[in-house]
Amino acid sequence: MKTRDRIKFILSVFLIFFVSYVLLFGIVVGDYQVKPLSKVVKLGLDLKGGVYVEEEIVDKNVSKDTVERTRDLIELRVNSLGVSEPVVAITGSNRIRVEIPGIYDPKAALEQIGRTGKLRFVGPNNDEILTGKDVKDAVVSVDQRTNAPVVQLKLNQEGAKKFAEATKKYLGKQIAIYMDDELISAPTVRDVIPNGEAIITGSRNVEEAKRLAGIIKSGALPVKLYPATIRAIGPSLGAEAIPTSLKAATIGIILVMLFMLVYYKIPGFIADLALIVYMIITALIFTVVLKTTLTLPGIAGLLLSIGMAVDANVLIFERIKEELRLGKSLRTAIDAGFKRAFSSILDSNITTLIAGFVLYFVGTGAVKGFALTLIIGVLSSMFTAITVTRFLLKSFVNSGWITNSKFYGA
């Protein structure tokens, strides 16, 4: 009996530390590689910097299809920026949320996302020659003569026909090219162009030409957009927030663990082990299962939940102390402690969960994320504080290493 419990306890402790090590530093076994969690976790925009825009569709009565098409078009445009992991998602009934990491200039981002993007070729008599619908493809190339970046258009069959006629008609005259009523170029027609290829000059640099090509290629948006929220977060905020938060987390966790150890002795030590299991479970749920992004308020929420996670253990240990004071034996006191603390743990956590779920279903954005932290924190702390602590505490007591009830709070 004793030996079995000793092995059980030692193996569990070994397992806890092994898993923590793997999650912190990663491991390579043969061809398999487990990356450390810090490499897996997705950072929110407030930690890595970028632009966040919420575009609102001005027209209130838009169909779901239109909203979805707008989202797809915006996604095409954002992808043409070539940044990694942008987010384009519908929020609410008429809003589209765009997150672009690595770009810090909100103005450039807004132009890329929010322009309606109506391309028009207009003749000298103000007659419309071509629109964005006649364009099959748009790419950036360099003008051989001037070395300036240009946007090269490939027109579809109908567009090519219209363009050939127009260039014949307006030979030697000016054609104006508009993007959303803004004149971007007004070239003079020098030749008849029958092959359906047109060039837009006037871009100041390659980036601008790329953006223009991206907008033309994705096509005009079916609706007018208005930016309801714009956030731009510089890269320095996260660069400072991450190390300071890590430091605070380390200090806070060490304080919690020391406190538990000093105040509750052996059970406190067991609670510290359970707390490590708690952190492992929540970390895995957030990064691997839910793949949530870590944000600044999220960090605060996680830290708060670590402080609260030992609460169930505090409740149990206080009960064990009381039972020991009544003169019960160590094993009976532990059993009674768990049993009698259960109703208060259950009721208090369910009420907290009620608040959490309301927050999750009513709240939006960062608030929702925070609620999720709270809910998962409460659920996994209930699990670890009850199941893990009981298992470890019982096998430790049964191992017979330390049986003097003084070390258990008597």
The answer to the question of residue 56 lying near other proteins (CB under 8 A) is: yes
SS3 content of the chain, % helix, strand, coil (to 5): 60, 20, 20
The answer to the question of residue 255 lying near other proteins (CB under 8 A) is: yes
Q: Which CB sits closer to other proteins, 174 or 344?
A: 344
Structure tokens at 5: 């419990």
Residue 43 DSSP code: E
The answer to the question of residue 308 lying near other proteins (CB under 8 A) is: yes
The answer to the question of residue 232 lying near other proteins (CB under 8 A) is: yes
User: Which region, judged by CB under 8 A, interacts with other proteins, from 127-135, 176-184, 282-290, 296-304?
Assistant: 296-304
Q: Which of 82, 124, 194, 234 binds other proteins (CB under 8 A)?
A: 234
Cα(99)–Cα(87) distance, integer angstroms: 5
Region of residue 310 (left: phi > 0; alpha: psi -120 to 50; beta: else): alpha
Q: Which CB sits closer to other proteins, 152 or 348?
A: 348
Give the residue ranges of DSSP H helices in 285-329: 296-309, 311-325
Q: Which CB sits closer to other proteins, 31 or 182?
A: 182
Which residue in this structure is represented by tokens 């082990």? 273
Q: How far is the CB of 264 from other proteins (least distance, A)?
A: 9
Residue 187 DSSP code: P
- The answer to whether 277 and 388 have CB atoms below 8 angstroms apart is yes
Q: Which CB sits closer to other proteins, 38 or 351?
A: 351
Residues 372-391 that bind other proteins (CB under 8 A): 374
Residues 75-134 that bind other proteins (CB under 8 A): 104-107, 110
Q: Which of 82, 124, 365, 400 binds other proteins (CB under 8 A)?
A: 365
Q: Which CB sits closer to other proteins, 122 or 230?
A: 230
Q: Which CB sits closer to other proteins, 373 or 399?
A: 373
Burial class (CB in 10 A: 0-12, 13-18, 19+), 221: buried
The answer to the question of residue 347 lying near other proteins (CB under 8 A) is: yes
The answer to the question of residue 165 lying near other proteins (CB under 8 A) is: no
DSSP string for 191-229: S---SSEEEE---SSHHHHHHHHHHHHH---SS-EEEEE
The answer to the question of residue 400 lying near other proteins (CB under 8 A) is: no
3-state secondary structure of 56: strand
Q: Which of 237, 283, 285, 379 binds other proteins (CB under 8 A)?
A: 237
The answer to the question of residue 244 lying near other proteins (CB under 8 A) is: yes
